[in-house]
Structure 1
């Protein structure tokens, strides 16, 4: 299964980008052993529409384009989602892989979040906890958890309970 990271907003050069790249590089190296292939990052610029609803609609439409194939699934990161432990998160990714999903798009929204209907279309809606995170930190957390999921699925000792 191919993993694609969809992000609203661009990550500038700096330590945050380096850390994201480090985790995604690890994912690219370890993922194939458990059937997860890293398909890259799709970044879009934040919408400049006048209202939050219009911005969310434009950004969500771009995300929907990536999951238009019925063999794809959407993993949405949203504050209203379910807080999962790392093993449960990895298990759900493994389940999607085992169900024959070919592409899993992990989506991080912009400052306004996601259009509410996008959560209805998602296979999983996951919260990064109850705290609010800046986009750069959210991207680091997601990249690390995707790598951690591959490590768990590979029975690698990176994750410790």
Structure 2
């Protein structure tokens, strides 16, 4: 199963982009042995529509077009549920074992995700009740994907 990180907006060069790239490389290296075929970050341009509802709808259409056929979709949203890293890794493992070709973590733009797009997610996930900058959310998402892979592989990275 391929892992994707889909995000509205471009991440500028700097420590956040480097951190995401580091975790992406780790996901590729560690995931091969346990049935994960790669990691890709896709950045979608922010909509320039005037109204927030129109921006979210345009961004949702672009995000949907970027999803591989049959991919599981995880929307990151403040209204989502919180999970432990172990629960998250089990969910990824279940989808991998069920033959899902890909799993995409989706990060919306400044206005958030279109409700209709979000409602079609396989999982809506929150990284807590606080609001986080998008560049940090990307790093958190990439790290949690790597952590999930280490849990699934029995690697000691995740200690409780």
Q: Which residue of 1 aligns with 2:123?
A: 124
SS in 1 for 2:10: coil
- TM-score, normalising length: structure 2: 0.96
Q: Which residue of 2 aligns with 1:142?
A: 141
SS in 1 for 2:75: strand
Q: Does residue 89 of structure 2 align to residue 90 of structure 1?
A: yes
Q: Which residue of 2 aligns with 1:52?
A: 52
Deviating beyond 4 angstroms after TM superposition, the runs of 4 or more aligned structure 1 residues are: none
SS in 2 for 1:60: helix
SS in 2 for 1:4: strand
Change (3 A) 1:109 1:94: same
Aligned equivalents of 2:107 and 2:28: distance in 1? 19
- TM-score, normalising length: structure 1: 0.95
Aligned equivalents of 1:107 and 1:61: distance in 2? 13
Q: How far apart are 1:68 and its partner, in Å?
A: 6.0
Q: Which residue of 1 aligns with 2:31?
A: 31
Aligned equivalents of 1:144 and 1:97: distance in 2? 19
Count of matched residue pairs: 160
Q: Which residue of 1 aligns with 2:158?
A: 159
Aligned equivalents of 1:68 and 1:119: distance in 2? 16
Aligned equivalents of 2:55 and 2:128: distance in 1? 24
Q: Which residue of 2 aligns with 1:76?
A: 75
Unaligned regions of 5+ residues in structure 2, if any? Answer: none
